[in-house]
Amino acid sequence: MSGSWKRSEHFIDGDWYTPAAGELLAIENPATGESIGTAARGGREEVDLAVEAATRAWPGWSATSPAQRAEALGALRDALGARSKELVDLTVAELGVPVTFAENVHVPLALGDLDAFTRDVRDFPFEERIGNSLVLKESAGVAGCVTPWNYPLHQMAAKVGAALAAGCTVVLKPAELTPLAAYALAEAACDAGLPPGVFNVVFGSGRVVGDALTRSPGVDVVSFTGSTAVGTSVAEVAAGDVRRCLLELGGKSASVALPDADFEAATRWTVRSATVNSGQTCSACTRLIVPRSNHADVVAYAGELAAGLRVGDPLDATTDLGPVVSARQRETILGFVERAVANGARVEPAGTGDLPDRGHYVRPAVVSGTHPFSEIAQEEVFGPVLVVLAYDDEDEAAAIANSTRYGLSGAVWSADAGRATTFARRLRTGQVDVNGGQWNFSAPFGGYKQSGTGRELGPHGIADFCEIKSIQL
């Protein structure tokens, strides 16, 4: 980007496209409530143009070799990496995350995604022999990718990287609240020399552009990340003409400390998981499940940790939590906590001092004294709220962990890694961290139950953008 955040274009067929009667989206800084720029507001016409461009580009792109696609992805990664400082600035401005978190997590996540796809596509089994059959994994066609606002750059890299690695061409619809990263990604695609039409971006609202993209007959694969409610409607549309649909949806993940766990380590990690990115993380562990005999001590310690988190100006390097993304999101979070308290739950003190007098700030909250089936323990709050629950034995711990309609992530803590892994197998969820296990860019990410279908990242993410053909020889 040129340093200006006032944009009015879409990126279609390798060039910037400005509609004659273009409307604009206003971009708000959540830390101040002030407008910091604009983005294009597209409609069905722009979606049709982008899908047509992607359709024209698909035969040539899908015919490239894995090595050629790896080279292109590497070039895209390098072009994006050259914009790291700018990416940090725009992420802080449009999402309100602390500058250190943007530097250490948001931007490195996206670059790590592209690094992994660059490696993984070279060894991906696009062909294999099974007896007398040649089994092919072939590009599924044009991919329509709809991404959320909470990790804008990472979510775009995860979807676009996998689709391009598989040989698909892409039409991307970024979140209307955080569109700036998509402009930077499109400019990086230009610098990387991606052929025209291979990667396209249409900006606008989910209700208009997202709906048009998911309904377009020219889109072969729909990949959506967002709320379970919207994901359900996307799946219904895709089912109408039996199109491949990949969904990464909500979560209410559990961190389970077994009786022999290091409770301080488990509590520190889980408080961080529940509050990082101001709690706006779909895979966050927002329930901490501990033995009843340890419950009171864990609640007190979690409250101390939450109270020690500094909420404030995201440009201050000492800030732990910035604002949440919007006034509406703030009211939603506060509503969950207020209803929990009205129903008898307790909330530990979470910090002292005044919050900034403008912006959408929320103090972290540690909730206890509530039932595992209460609203606050079952529903995704999407804010810095941790619920601490007690169990009497491991069967009950597993039952509580599996009691929600979600199944996206989780964690298990034990002095015995084997015991923790055995318990992890009991969890109905797509990912489990054992004793704070390290993130793996090539491991599949996705959910059970109402947390979604399909997987992102690594070879499994590439596979979901492929069709399978069997040739009998």
Give yes or no for a contact between 289 and 255, defined as CB atoms under 8 angstroms apart.
yes
In DSSP terms, 6 is beta-bridged to 38
The dihedral formed by the CA atoms of 303, 305, 307 and 312, expressed in degrees to the nearest 10: -140
Residue 408 identity (one-letter amino acid): L
Provide the 10 A C-beta neighbour count for residue 179. 27
Instruction: Tell me which of 94, 176, 248, 456 is the catalytic residue.
Output: 248
The beta strand positions in 168-252, using DSSP E, are 169-173, 199-201, 221-225, 244-248
Helices (H), 343-403: 375-378, 394-401
Which one is catalytic: 145, 245, 282, 285? Answer: 282
Pairwise CA distance, residues 99 & 78, whole Å = 22
Pairing verdict, β 410-413 and 433-434: parallel
Task: Confirm whether 282 is a catalytic residue.
Answer: yes
* Strand pairing class (346-348; 365-368): antiparallel
Is 285 designated active site? no
Kindly report the number of other CB atoms within 10 A of residue 56's CB atom.
13
Print the SS3 string covering 6-17: ECCCEEECCEEE
209 vs 31: CA distance, rounded Å = 27
Q: In Å, how far from its chain's centre is CA 435?
A: 22
Q: Report how far residue 271's alpha carbon sits from residue 265's, in angstroms, rounded to the nearest whole number.
A: 10
* Residues with active-site annotation: 248, 282
